[in-house]
Amino acid sequence: MPDRPLSGVRVLDLTNVLAGPYCSYQLMLLGADVVKVELPGHGDLARRLGPEPELNDAGIGASFLAQNAGKRSVELDLKDAAGRLRFEEMLRDADVLLENFRAGTLQRIGYGWDRLRELNPRLVYCAISGFGQSGPMSQAPAYDQVIQGLSGMMSITGTSDTAPLRVGFPVCDSVGGLVAALAITAALAGRARTGEGSHLDVSMLEASLSAMGWAVSNYLVSGVAPQPMGDQNATAAPSGTFDAADGPLNIAANKQEQFETLCQLVGRQDLLRDPRFAERDARKRHRSALNAELNTALRERPAAEWEALLSSAGVPAARILTVPEAVELDQLRHRGFFTELPFPDGSARRLRVSGNGVLVNGRPLRPTTPPPLLGQHNADLRHPATSGEAA
């Protein structure tokens, strides 16, 4: 796919598990040639993570398969003299170096920013860590759940009876990876103007707090601390999960005109004349009473019917799907969000992996090769690829 924005960019990826590999997966989808540098005989820990023990034992666990299609894998031991020499040769030709070790790890083995810049003044060096490369917490170990707890995210997830709860997927890892990918692409754009590389220090804690939006800003600006509200949206009412005849239904009538349309479509125009619900702040104060009235009306039809009726009238509404249901949505099929690839072990099994939700010139961004076996591209150390396409 020659028109991908990062075609011709080479990334050396020293990362493990999720935040870093998710970042480099985004860069690969955008066209970069991503070379995973893995410890000989061991590799990315994610190779052994997933629900199928057979895949984990083979070094191609589901967690690894999900984030590493389109990349190459080479084995290097950075504590070995020959491995360091090879690594430095690769660095001289690289555009980006990405790692997610504990803060200061590369510095301690002789590859701090000064040394990296000496080897390649144009290098964009991005370090992802739990708390950043400096500060009193910089040396503390961190996984996604630790960041969820420290950010305050868990304290507002669930209800007053169930909080604190972990968000049901590794959101802090994903947000950290996305922020790193954004920073790297910005640094590459800056380098095109100045000719100089840069050192990017990405903190998952800070990235997560930034992504929490009003939950943080309402406190910073107005001193109002967020509270766990379950499936309700604190910024508007009616906005949350409601009861259809056959199951739950999400409705977000956040604008006055959407609320008016909702009341008309459910046959409850009388709610518009009720002073408890007449305007936005009043509806938030009387949320429970309003929800009870709407639920009585919504239980008259199944969720799919309400979704079609409300959505066509401009009121955001949709069923709540399981993950198996969500991945089969016709919308995703239409957009080409998933790509089917061969399994890396050569078996007849097929692998389906996600895109990133971006179309470039009308075409989805897709990996072109399956995730690599450990060390599959060791020979490429002697003959590195010259294009941005994964070899």
- Asked whether residue 187 falls in the same domain as residue 60, the answer is yes
Residue 217 lies in a domain: no
Evaluate if residue 24 carries a pLDDT over 70. Answer: yes
Residue 120 lies in a domain: yes
* Per-residue pLDDT tens over the stretch 113-155: 999 999 999 999 999 999 999 999 999 999 999 999 999 999 9
- Asked whether residue 134 falls in the same domain as residue 248, the answer is no
Residue 228 lies in a domain: no
Q: d(Cα 261, Cα 273) in Å, to the nearest integer?
A: 14
- Asked whether residue 189 falls in the same domain as residue 51, the answer is yes
Q: d(Cα 48, Cα 59) in Å, to the nearest integer?
A: 6
- Asked whether residue 183 falls in the same domain as residue 245, the answer is no
| CATH number of the domain residue 250 falls in | 3.30.1540.10
Q: Give the pLDDT of residue 390.
A: 35
| CATH number of the domain residue 48 falls in | 3.40.50.10540
Q: Which residues span the domain enclosing 310?
A: 239-321
Q: Give the pLDDT of residue 386.
A: 41
At which of 273, 292, 321 does a domain end? 321
Residue 359 lies in a domain: yes
Catalytic positions are 173
Residue 234 lies in a domain: no
* Angle made by CA atoms 44, 175, 217, in degrees to the nearest 5: 155
Evaluate if residue 387 carries a pLDDT over 90. Answer: no
Rg (CA), the chain: 24
- Asked whether residue 40 falls in the same domain as residue 137, the answer is yes
Neighbouring residues of 287: CB distance < 8 A, sequence distance ≥ 6: 232, 237, 238
Tell me the two tokens of residue 207: 């990235």
Residues 101, 20 contacting (CB under 8 angstroms): no
Number of domains in the chain: 2
Residue 374 lies in a domain: yes
- Asked whether residue 290 falls in the same domain as residue 375, the answer is no
For the segment 164-193, the average pLDDT, to the nearest whole number, is 97
**Helix (H, G, I), strand (E, B), or coil: what is residue 124?**
strand
Tell me the two tokens of residue 169: 């997927």
256-265 vs 303-312: helix crossing angle, rounded to 10: 130
Instruction: Tell me the pLDDT band of 380, cut-offs 50, 70 and 90.
Output: confident
